[in-house]
Amino acid sequence: MPESTDSPEPLTDDEIAEANVGEPVRLDGRIELCEPDPSWANLYSREEARIRNVLGNKALVVEHVGSTAVPRLAAKPIIDVVLAVADSSDEGSYVPALEAEGYVLTIREENWFEHRLLKGPDTNINLHVFSEGSPEIARMIAFRDHLRTNPGDRARYEDAKRELASQDWKFVQNYADAKSPVIAEIMQRAQAPHARQEI
């Protein structure tokens, strides 16, 4: 499950288990944050090409999101990709084609924008699938773009991530949920009419 740019209630263990296709993978430890790596952009480009090749015009939006999409930001070494399809609840229209290429469906969240998550065949990616027009797509992209152009909020977010990553977590989702308040705080500034772009 992704780090939401909203500030929802943290998921319970039962909710995490229910959303997982199969048994949820426990972390029982700390989050690994890596220094910014220029190769992340290349890994994303390769995945985008593969997704577009597999789905053709069914891939309505493909974007690099999350911390690996923000230069100069420490991140978990996982490439987050957001994909918009006509209807993410219609798994038959896109999941079999992706699975044939080696992607694996791991998350199904029917109550959260009909979100689906697939893992990549040979690169550690999170492929987040939503229906075209889902507000979560716009929020993910807006958060990425704000962090790319606002060094103050980028540093604020990284400080919060490093502090949380030093703690022990049962599931990675618990860490993602713990970041929700700082993400919501930054999004309020990003969406303010007077928000300035800083390079």
Element (H, E) at 191: none
CB atoms within 10 A of CB 77: 15
Q: Is the pTM of this model over 0.85?
A: yes
Q: What is the pLDDT of residue 1?
A: 46
Token pair recorded at residue 147: 């962090």
Token pair recorded at residue 151: 């060094």
Q: What is the pLDDT of residue 194?
A: 47
| Spatial separation of the C-alpha atoms in residues 135 and 193, rounded to whole Å | 18
Query: For each of the chain's 199 residues, which pLDDT tens digit applies?
Result: 444 444 467 889 888 889 999 888 899 999 999 999 999 999 999 999 999 999 999 999 999 999 999 999 999 999 999 999 999 999 999 999 999 999 999 999 999 999 999 999 999 999 999 999 999 999 999 999 999 999 999 999 999 999 999 999 999 999 999 999 999 999 998 886 544 444 3
Is the CATH code 3.30.460.10 the one for domain 13-190? yes
CB atoms within 10 A of CB 105: 18
Question: Is residue 176 within 8 Å of 24, Cβ to Cβ?
Answer: no
